[in-house]
Chains A and B, each alone.
Chain A
Amino acid sequence: MTGVVDALAVTKRYGEVLGLNGFTASFGAGITGLIGPNGAGKSTLFRLLAGQLRPDAGTLSVLGQPAWSEGSFRRRVGYCPEQPAMYDWMTGKEFVVYLLRVDGYSRAEAEKRATQAIDTVGLTDAKARRVRVYSKGMRQRVKIAQGIAHDPELLLLDEPLNGVDPVGRAQLLALFTRLGRSGHHLIVSSHVLYEVERLTDQIVMISNGRALAQGDLHRIRDLIDERPHTIEITAREPRSLAKLLSGWDHVVGIEFVGPDRLTVRSRLPETFYRELPELVVREGAEISALHSSDDNLDAVFRYLSEGGR
């Protein structure tokens, strides 16, 4: 693997709890979304990448360097952690200036870069206020500001849109897109899947500390197409409908989920959607609602995490 970030069989334990469990993935150039539910291992991966934790097993490299190491390569990496904690007694600008100075910038250069970064994230008016009075959204912005202020090659963003208002989300998504287009590499984690979809097609899906799938979102959807799709049908007589559908070769499972609802699993969703209207007309089946839960990224994730891989 020769990605921007390469993980090979990385395992990280917190006592009895597995944070990562043989996680293997390669994060390439540009923007990559890391998606998974809370507790999937996203923050553990970021903490490992940031040098805060050491892998118990496996290898993890960042820009070609072992993640568990210190040195000048870290100046090429920006990190926006998920946790809201900061040095609350500093002002937003002091916070960014401080971290730039720790990174080796002179006071003048740090002041200049901090001002630019704070302007970029739209926090100019609040830069002189103490961080302790910041809202969650403002905290996210100042965390992002310290992450981008040194113009890093790789930016690690752990749930960067948490707590940000809708307008702010749009602004930050635009900023991330801009950074990606200007040659920066971004790894953005989220459990709000549509946000990742708006940002990139390159995704790594994580659950229970393992990478479930990675690559182009459309390719992953193709993978789904080779597997049974789940369609939920609301019908007046679900049992009669089930009897009819059970005769179709591509239907591999039917489950009743309510008095008027059933879910059908089909290996050929296109065929299913083509034949169903014909069945309705021919047999007079009354169907009031049809919903495929497999038509968005959330469903893709759910499908893979439930062992469909």
Chain B
Amino acid sequence: MTGVDRLLPIAGAAFRGSLRGSRTVALGAIAAVPTLIVVALAAANASSTQISDASLGLFGTLTLRVVMILVVLVIGVAQFRGEIEDDTLAYLTSRSVPRAVVAVGKYLGSVLACLVVLVPSALVPLAVAQAAGGSPIPSSTAFAVLATVILGTLAYDAVFLLFGLVSPSALLLGLIYGFLWEFLLSLLPGTIPRITLVYYLHALLGLSVTSGPLSGYPTVVSLGEAIAAPLGVAVAFVSLTAVLFRYEETAPLRSSA
């Protein structure tokens, strides 16, 4: 059996383990907020343009900058930190599977779990807006939204996977990264926003969507760069996680002697 064959059970377990219990309910509730807002607008007899613009605007602000960060943070960090704190990682590290395979398997499973939550969170509001009589949303816009969700999840999950491996305060670190670094730095002038991921995600939307709220993100990067940057971050952080996992101790901080 090759390392790739071992990826599947690990990714499968990571996927199933990520979507369980009260955590899933909480993440689902967060993910449903954009849809609920669009439903509320439709119920309030907002105009068709208002409904469509709101559904798209909510993606650029709420879904991309809050919902995605929270969902990916909780799921991504838990891959290693949850197991270290639960003290279950020994079942994997005592096996013959290479640790790099464990890291990549967990990453793939968690990405899939995040997408199960985030793709509906991003696309259902658009569908609801259409169903409620909103202005037509081009399929290219919906595709750009989907691509942004996928790229954002790939990149953020890789970052949070690493945080979960190396830091006992991974959640706090993730919150600081997601809501201070990504938010504050993206507001600064000049080239500083280019060290945030959200810059490239916004650039992808700005370059792909020709009209409406998502078309207004200014950028100096090309579409190729907007796609390559999150992918590069994902590859770099997953690789770093795989390497560090080989040298990382995985027992809880206060181990019974």
Contacts and interface: CB of A to CB of B under 8 A. Distances in A.
B44 interface: no
B90 interface: yes
A30 B98 CA distance: 29
B96 A40 contact: no
| Chain B interface bracket (under 10, 10 to 19, 20 to 34, 35 or more) | 35 or more
A89 B255 contact: no
B87 A81 contact: yes
B97 A103 contact: yes
B6 A39 contact: no
A73 interface: yes
Interface stretch (B9-17, B30-38, B131-139, B196-204): B9-17
Interface in B34-91: 86-91
B256 interface: yes
Contacts of B247: 54
Contacts of B254: 14
B256 A87 contact: no
A168 interface: no
A33 B88 CA distance: 24
B14 to A, nearest CB: 11
B95 A39 contact: no
A52 B250 contact: yes
Interface in B228-257: 246-247, 249-251, 253-257
A22 B167 CA distance: 29
B221 interface: no
Given A47-B251, A50-B90, A74 B9 contact: no
B95 A85 contact: no
A73 B95 CA distance: 9
Contacts of A82: 256
Which of A38, A54, A77, A85 gathers the greatest number of chain B CB atoms within 10 Å?
Answer: A85
B178 to A, nearest CB: 27
Contacts of A70: 93, 96-99, 246
Count chain A CB atoms within 10 A of each CB in B10, B90, B95, B255 and give the residue with the most. Answer: B95
A71 B99 CA distance: 9
Contact of B94 (A41, A77, A105): A77
A102 interface: yes
Contacts of A209: 257
B10 to A, nearest CB: 6
Contact of A19 (B5, B13, B90, B257): B257
B188 interface: no
Nearest to B100: A70
Contacts of B256: 38-39, 43, 82-83
A104 interface: yes
A77 B87 CA distance: 19
Interface residues of A, number: 42
A52 B251 CA distance: 6
Interface in B182-228: none
Interface string A176-200: 0000000000000000000000000
Contact of A98 (B13, B96, B102, B255): B13
Contacts of B5: 104
A234 to B, nearest CB: 37
A150 to B, nearest CB: 9
B257 A102 contact: no
B257 A79 contact: no
Contact of B87 (A19, A38, A85, A99): A85
A302 to B, nearest CB: 18
B19 to A, nearest CB: 10
B257 A103 contact: no
Interface in A127-147: 146
A148 to B, nearest CB: 13
Contacts of B255: 14, 19, 43-44, 47, 53
B170 to A, nearest CB: 19
B180 interface: no
A72 interface: yes
Nearest to A42: B257
Interface in A55-106: 70-75, 77, 79, 81-83, 85-87, 89-90, 98-99, 101-106
A83 B91 contact: no
Nearest to A103: B95
Contacts of B91: 79, 81, 86-87, 99, 146
28 contacts: A14-B254, A44-B257, A50-B90, A50-B93, A50-B94, A51-B93, A52-B89, A52-B90, A52-B94, A53-B251, A70-B97, A70-B98, A70-B246, A73-B96, A75-B95, A75-B96, A83-B90, A85-B87, A87-B88, A87-B91, A89-B21, A98-B13, A102-B10, A102-B92, A103-B95, A103-B96, A104-B96, A105-B1
Interface of B: 1, 5-6, 9-10, 13, 16-17, 20-21, 86-99, 102, 246-247, 249-251, 253-257
Q: Which 6 pairs from chain A and chain B are nearest by CB? A: A50-B94, A104-B1, A101-B9, A79-B94, A75-B96, A74-B96
Given A104-B1, A209-B257, 17 more contacts: A19-B255, A19-B257, A40-B257, A43-B256, A43-B257, A47-B255, A50-B90, A52-B249, A72-B96, A74-B95, A75-B95, A81-B90, A81-B91, A89-B17, A90-B13, A102-B95, A106-B1
